[in-house]
Amino acid sequence: MSCIDVQCVSKLYGSIKAVDNITLSVKPGKVFGFLGPNGAGKSTTIKLLTTLMPPSNGSLSILGIDAIANPLQVRHKIGVVLQQPSYEPTLSVEKSLDKYGMMWNVSKNERKKRMERLLVDFDLNEIRKKRNEDLSIGQRRRVQVAREFMHDMELLFLDEPTVGLDPTARRNLLDYLKKRVKTGLTIFYTTHILSEAEYLCDEIAIIDKGKIITIDSPDALKNKFGKEKTIKIHLLKKHPDVSSMLSTISDCEINFKNGTNIIIHSEQSELVLLQILKILNDNGIEIEDLSAMPTNLEEIFLKMVRENSSDN
Ligand SMILES: Nc1ncnc2c1ncn2[C@@H]1O[C@H](COP(=O)(O)OP(=O)(O)OP(=O)(O)O)[C@@H](O)[C@H]1O
Ligand SMILES: [Mg+2]
pLDDT average, residue stretch 269-296? 85
Please name the residue whose Cα sits nearest to atom 24 of ligand 1. 38
- Round to whole Å and give the CA distance between 294 and 232: 11
Please tell me if the CB atom of residue 47 comes closer than 6 angstroms to any atom of ligand 1. Answer: no
| Side chain identity, residue 244 | S
Q: Flag whether pLDDT at 296 surpasses 70.
A: no
Average pLDDT over residues 103-128: 97
- Domains by residue range for the chain, with CATH: 4-217 (3.40.50.300), 227-294 (3.30.70.100)
Residue that wins the pLDDT comparison between 253 and 149 = 149
pLDDT at 294 over 70: no
Q: Structure pTM?
A: 0.81
pLDDT band at 169 (very low <50, low <70, confident <90, very high): very high
* Integer Cα distance of 1 and 306 in angstroms: 35
Q: Looking at residue 309, what is its pLDDT?
A: 76
Q: Given this model, what pLDDT does residue 210 score?
A: 95
pLDDT classification of 295: cutoffs 50, 70, 90: low
Ligand 1 pocket test, candidate residues 12, 42, 189, most atoms within 8 A of CB: 42
Ligand 1 pocket, residue 61 CB under 6 Å: no
Instruction: Tell me the C-alpha distance between 41 and 212, whole Å.
Output: 10
Average pLDDT over residues 283-296: 82
Average pLDDT, the chain: 91
**Phi, psi of 33, rounded to the nearest 5 degrees:** -95, 135
Q: Is the shortest distance between the CB of 13 and ligand 1 below 6 Å? A: yes
Q: Is the distance from the beta carbon of residue 206 to the nearest atom of ligand 1 less than 6 Å?
A: no
How does pLDDT run across 12-58, given as a tens digit for each residue?
A: 999 999 999 999 999 999 999 999 888 999 999 999 999 999 999 99
Interatomic CA distance for residues 52 and 303, integer angstroms: 32
Distances from the Cα of 15 to the Cα of 20, 47, 143, 300, angstroms: 12, 18, 37, 30
Q: In this predicted structure, what is the pLDDT of residue 312?
A: 62
Give Cβ neighbours of residue 187 (< 8 Å, ≥ 6 apart). 30, 31, 32, 155, 156, 157, 158, 177, 180, 181, 200
Q: What backbone torsions phi and psi does residue 174 show, to the nearest 5 degrees?
A: -60, -40
Tens of pLDDT, residue by residue over 66-95, are 999 999 999 999 999 999 989 999 999 999
Strands 155-159 and 78-81, by their bridges, are parallel
Q: How far apart are CA 138 and CA 207, in angstroms?
A: 26
Q: Which of 98, 83, 28 has the alpha carbon at shortest distance from 50?
A: 83
Under 8 Å between Cβ of 75 and 51: yes
Ligand 2 centre and the CA of 62: distance in Å? 21
The closest residue, in CA terms, to atom 31 on ligand 1 is 39
pLDDT in tens, 181-229: 999 999 999 988 878 888 999 999 999 999 999 999 988 887 776 677 8
Alpha-carbon distance of 71 to 50, in angstroms, equals: 8
Find out whether the beta carbon of 16 lies less than 6 Å from any atom of ligand 1: yes
Any ligand 1 atom below 6 A from CB of 151: no
